[in-house]
Amino acid sequence: MLKRLMLGTVFTTLLSFQTHADQSVEVLHWWTSGGEAGALNVLKDDLSSKGVSWNDMPVAGGSGTAAMTVLRARVAAGNPPTAVQMLGFDILDWAQQGALTDLNAVAKEGNWDAVIPTALQKFSKHEGKWIAAPVNVHSTNWIWSNKAILDELNISEPNSWDDLVSAMDKVKASGKVALAHGGQPWQDATVFESIALLTGGGDFYKKAFIDLDEETLGSDTMKTVFERMEVLRGYVDDNFSGRDWNLASAMVINGEAAFQIMGDWAKGEFLRANKKPGADFLCLRVPGTQGYVTFNSDQFAMFNVDGNQTESQAQLAKSILAPEFQSAFNVVKGSVPARTDVSDAAFDECGKKGMKDLVEANDNGKLYGSMAHGHSAPAAIKNAFYDVITAHFNGEFDSETAVAELVDAIAIAK
């Protein structure tokens, strides 16, 4: 009840815009888990307070792959939604097709150029035109742990790969699941990119996933990454195949598993279960990746629609980038604001750490787009990574073969 009252206060302090009774937005998204839906309600309620009704179009699936399939069908039929939740290169692909509307007037009014990090603007703008409004910044190289299990087994916070393996050995020996995981390609890739970062460091990550350097992709270091994925496979329970990410989070929340490697959207699930950071769960950078941040940013891309909806799109974009909304939404979602001028006062210790890490990584050149979440390379490349990583994780071929398959797959996808 207190949280509702606090959010209600935020809504009433947001900027008021003159609207018409028939204003509405149809929004296609994949925020369907409990924590995600709770965060989305912050935006729905804010728009409602401004007289803009929300027509919901949810499509389940944590990576948005299913949502993009629905979107293509809608656009092909000449009936695009008003706005679509989208990630990274998917936004630029639609912009290159001329499908997205010009938000420059709204951006100029809100001074977006000055307050949105350049790394995000790469995916929010096309040929000098703002075509999407970033809602947040998620980082993917987090490991979430059940504090009670760690305390019971006398496990200290792991700071390296060897520490992590030692900790997972203790958990496995206790009869609990060491690593909660969902066997879906995007989840496999989320783990893989963090293991690549801890194994090879920032330069290796950039060369492999952003530059797509063939020598790096085929290197002994990449073989070590695959070998370490084999090690992690030994800590996953037998029922992981097809499991949704939030169900893996629930295993940690409920004390069935000790660790989950997942982006910070997982925190929303812990908070929804009334768990407190530092007391019930721990949020740590994947051991060996401290100082680095691999990120994605949920953005709402605005499609070309008829004139009746353009004002509604402007209202939606203004609401998304309002500082008060950025704080209220990201406190609930588990992410951090897409604006650099938002106070961290309302955030818990994990949120404050995430905001601090983001600034430091950006300043030190250690902020990298997530391969698994479409921020390091276009979709065809991402899907090529998915195919090889998941095939290897499921035992279809060994690590040496996986390296060769990866080199070939990326060469073809280019």
Instruction: In whole angstroms, give the CA distance from residue 361 to residue 355.
Output: 10
* Statement to judge: residues 285 and 309 lie in one domain: no
* Statement to judge: residues 131 and 144 lie in one domain: no
Give the per-residue pLDDT at 7. Answer: 44
Give the per-residue pLDDT at 363. Answer: 86
* Statement to judge: residues 241 and 331 lie in one domain: no
Contacts of 111 (CB under 8 A, 6+ apart): none
- pTM here is 0.85
Give the per-residue pLDDT at 14. Answer: 38
Range of the domain at 379: 139-294+358-413
* Cβ contact 144:332 at 8 Å: no
Parallel, antiparallel, or unpaired: how do β-strands 257-261 and 142-146 relate?
antiparallel
Give the per-residue pLDDT at 310. Answer: 85
| CA distances for 230 relative to 143, 158, 226, 398, 399, angstroms | 18, 19, 6, 9, 8
* Statement to judge: residues 267 and 405 lie in one domain: yes
* Statement to judge: residues 234 and 244 lie in one domain: yes
Q: Which two tokens stand for residue 256?
A: 């069935």
Q: Is residue 353 part of a domain?
A: no
* Statement to judge: residues 101 and 191 lie in one domain: no
Note down pLDDT in tens along the chain; length 414 residues: 444 444 444 434 333 333 344 688 999 999 888 878 888 888 899 888 888 899 999 998 766 888 999 999 999 999 999 999 998 999 999 999 999 999 999 999 999 999 998 888 999 999 999 999 999 999 999 999 999 999 999 999 999 999 999 999 999 999 999 999 999 999 999 999 999 999 999 999 999 999 999 999 999 999 999 999 999 999 999 999 999 999 999 999 999 999 999 999 999 899 999 999 999 999 999 999 999 999 999 999 999 987 667 888 999 999 999 999 999 989 988 899 999 899 999 999 999 999 999 989 988 999 999 999 999 999 999 999 999 999 999 999 999 999 999 999 999 999
Q: Domain total for the chain?
A: 2
Instruction: In whole angstroms, give the CA distance from residue 191 to residue 140.
Output: 9
* Statement to judge: residues 7 and 43 lie in one domain: yes
Q: Is residue 59 part of a domain?
A: yes
Give the per-residue pLDDT at 22. Answer: 60
Give the per-residue pLDDT at 195. Answer: 98
Q: Is residue 352 part of a domain?
A: no
* Statement to judge: residues 20 and 82 lie in one domain: yes
* Statement to judge: residues 177 and 313 lie in one domain: no
* Statement to judge: residues 313 and 277 lie in one domain: no
* Statement to judge: residues 307 and 285 lie in one domain: no
Q: Is residue 189 part of a domain?
A: yes
Strand ranges in 268-342 using DSSP code E only, listed in sequence order:
281-285, 293-296, 298-302
Shortest CA distance to 252 belongs to which of 143, 156, 166, 159?
A: 143
Looking at residue 381, which CATH number applies to its domain? 3.40.190.10
Q: Is residue 147 part of a domain?
A: yes
* Statement to judge: residues 146 and 133 lie in one domain: no
Strand ranges in 160-200 using DSSP code E only, listed in sequence order:
177-179
Give the per-residue pLDDT at 34. Answer: 82
User: Residue holding tokens 């947040």?
Assistant: 136
Give the per-residue pLDDT at 13. Answer: 36
Alpha carbon 180 to its chain's center: 18
